[in-house]
Structure 1
């Protein structure tokens, strides 16, 4: 089970019908209520402050990559990853004019990134107006569509687009057909909590006070020594010192996980375990 004992609330990006909402519904229990906010930061902050609350947020897209503000918040607000879920992302385009004549394009920043090829070919004159969510893009389009002189379009979830067939111009406009977003279930970190390395994955934040040749090699050598299979490795700027970098690592747990972590503890690296968890998929 991904929800901790005593959890009564899930916070996610709204309104109802967003991809975040779809991911949240997959872990929702009858005794738990779902609440919607306008930004990922709001969801994460509330989850960090309340032990009865978890947030469901995107961490990585198979096309656009990492959702950086979410990743950074995991460390900044000492959040704990409880589980993950993959959601297939399909977009549709609403418009009230021939696409080449669209002057305004409502889009969430992530949807805008994930449909760049389609935009380049079919929406050459459209000026992007960024929205709070993919559903918000559709809502704002429908509010404007009957206004005199409005020539616009909106990138929305395909399910939303199909509910508005009069304006549906194109289905599956994502750049890649396998477009998938990985969502995390996160909650507040509790000091007495013990991580269960019998789960599928572990995520870590790793840093070092050194900056020298071979630093990354030394780090990877520890994982290699214990035959730990990394499934994600990303470097990010340190928030403490300009031009110093930290690492985010995901790996598959094995019987050697604890030994690997013990070896890291006695090395020059400092680390924080962000979670050890299973996937719904």
Structure 2
């Protein structure tokens, strides 16, 4: 129990000490996670061990309740984050072993949409920070410029948003994937926290012009529909929108962006949580000129495109192939084939390693029954699905 005679300042000092100890222990735990990855190299065991994770959570919940008066929900939430971090650390370690040429590069040239503070910039920063890779940032005005910059060799990687939980698929990026020679080598899913930013605190009814990228306009359509007399203006990125507001320096303009990014441009948040959905996430893909090798010990995703015949049931036939080999499909998107009226290209994401026996069998069968098939990439799955503890009755 805490001595109630402690002053507030003394309690805060004690809390600071405990927080520092927690950071030290988390650092030690991370180092041990790498040692676990090293042992799995020798034993060829997969990174995920669902049974072990479940046993760990049950033990922690029991001890937390019996010894420390901590509730199950609190412990589960904390250790899901810790376990996710451990899994991602181990994946990076194994991927570096599988791709030694890339792991020896401490710096990467990365092309993305917008300037500092755009959502693509935030995704790029977070993705490569996991790999302890510094960025040489190459800002682009269009998605097509991102792919061209990588294809030409001026960038090592490109980061592109491909789908959002609110506004759906980003069609322009899907269309670019039809024609590019690049390979998908990674993915990252980011929470998108839209807010209104302005040069100073202003009333919503005073806003006359609102700047942003078209995607945030769609994702915040319900909130924007409640604003009267506001002119929506599109920019190349959310960062460009915030730059525009900074340059205009007027009290009747605002932008949609991220609160932390707004501070880069001297802007402040005047309204938060304006997206249609509370859980608003965007999935980004990472593209490069060469494919990556994915360790067989890591949960992998394979993305491919295919064109089927126009006969009835031809798409169903392809999906039955995946079902027959027990391959879980997580995405199916259709896009028109330019120059071929009424014909479509299908984009497919599956949870499978490209070189696994089941996936190789499936690809061979799909090639026989489709007009066209191309694997765009095989890469580690970013989303670490949490294992829920089995607490019995």
Matching of residue 276 in structure 1 with residue 375 in structure 2:
no
Match of 1:45 in 2: 148
Counterpart of 1:174? 275
Query: 1:115 aligned to 216, 220, 232, which one?
Result: 220
Offset, 1:162: 5.9
Instruction: Please give the secondary structure, in 2, of the residue aligned with 1:213.
Output: coil
Alpha-carbon distance in structure 2 between the residues aligned to 1:194 and 1:85: 18
Please, which moves more after superposition, 41-50 or 263-272?
263-272
In structure 2, the residue corresponding to 1:124 is in which secondary structure? coil
Query: Does the Cα contact within 8 Å between 2:120 and 2:160 map onto a contact in 1?
Result: yes
Question: Which residue number in structure 1 is paired with residue 233 of structure 2?
Answer: 129
76-85 vs 262-271, which moves further = 262-271
Aligned residue pairs total 274
The farther-off stretch of 244-253 and 264-273 is: 264-273
Distance 2:349 2:154 in 1: 25
CA distance in 1, matches of 2:276, 2:304: 30
Within a 5 Å distance, the mapping from 1:127-166 to structure 2 comes to: 127-146=231-250, 151-161=252-262
Once the two structures are superposed, residues 149-175 of structure 1 have per-residue CA deviations (whole angstroms, 9 ceiling, x without a partner) of x62221121223467898532111111
Query: Scaled by the length of structure 1, what TM-score is found?
Result: 0.87
Asked if 1:244 is matched to 2:343, the reply is yes
Q: Give the Å deviation of 1:215.
A: 1.6
Note the C-alpha offset of 1:258.
0.9
What is the CA distance between 1:217 and its match in structure 2? 1.3
Distance 1:280 1:79 in 2: 20
Equivalent position of 2:203 in the other structure: 98
CA distance in 2, matches of 1:222, 1:168: 50
CA distance in 2, matches of 1:26, 1:270: 35
* Equivalent in 203, 216, 220 of residue 303 of structure 2: 203
Equivalent residue, structure 2, for 1:70:
173
Higher helix share: 2
For residues 40 and 75 of structure 1, the distance between their equivalents in structure 2, rounded to whole angstroms, comes to: 14
Provide closer, same or farther for how the CA distance between residues 204 and 51 of structure 1 changes in structure 2, counting only shifts above 3 A: farther
Name structure 1 gaps, 5 residues minimum.
none
Partner SS state of residue 205, structure 1: strand
> Structure 1 residues 91, 268: closer, same or farther in 2, change over 3 A?
closer
Gap change, CA 1:15 and 1:194, over 3 Å in 2:
closer
Distance 1:17 1:163 in 2: 7
Gaps of 5+ in 2: 1-91, 384-393
Task: Report the RMSD for the aligned CA atoms in angstroms.
Answer: 2.6
CA shift digits 1:242-271 (9 cap, x unpaired): 111121100010641111111112224420
Cα-to-partner distance string for 1:108-139 (whole Å, 9 max, x where unaligned)? 11111110010011x22111111121121112
State the Cα deviation string for residues 144-198 of structure 1 (Å, max 9, x = none). Answer: 233xxx62221121223467898532111111111001011101257xx878776
> What is the alpha-carbon distance in structure 1 between the residues aligned to residue 337 and residue 207 of structure 2?
41
Say if 1:196 and 1:206 are closer, same or farther in 2 by CA, change over 3 A. farther
Q: TM-score, normalised by structure 2?
A: 0.64
